[in-house]
Amino acid sequence: MKRLFTMSLVALALVPVACGDDDSTDTTAAGGTQIAATATNFSFSPDLWTVAAGEEVSLTLTNAAGEDHEWVIMNAPIASEAEFTEAGVYWEMEATAGAVATDTFTAPAAGTYQIICALEGHFDSGMEGELVVTG
Ligand SMILES: [Cu+2]
Ligand 1 mean position, distance from CA 37 (Å):
12
- pTM for this model (two decimals): 0.78
Provide the CA 104 distance to its chain's centre, in angstroms.
7
Residue 52's identity, in one-letter code, is A
Question: Peptide bond preceding 46: is omega within 30 degrees of 0, i.e. cis?
Answer: yes
Ligand 1 mean position, distance from CA 72 (Å):
10
Ligand 1 mean position, distance from CA 129 (Å):
12
Q: Shortest CA distance to 91 belongs to which of 69, 66, 74, 111?
A: 74
Ligand 1 mean position, distance from CA 135 (Å):
29
Q: What is the 3-state secondary structure (H, E, C) of 35-59?
A: EEEEEECCEEECCEEEEECCCEEEE
Domain coordinates in residue numbering, the chain? 1-31, 34-134
Per-residue pLDDT of the chain (135 residues; tens, 9 = 90+): 344 444 444 444 444 443 444 433 333 444 689 999 999 999 999 999 999 999 999 999 999 999 999 999 999 999 999 999 999 999 999 999 999 999 999 999 999 999 999 999 999 999 999 999 999
Q: Are 44 and 38 within 8 A, CB to CB?
A: yes
Ligand 1 mean position, distance from CA 122 (Å):
5
CATH for 34-134, options being 2.60.40.420, 1.10.150.20, 3.40.50.720, 1.10.760.10: 2.60.40.420
Ligand 1 mean position, distance from CA 68 (Å):
6
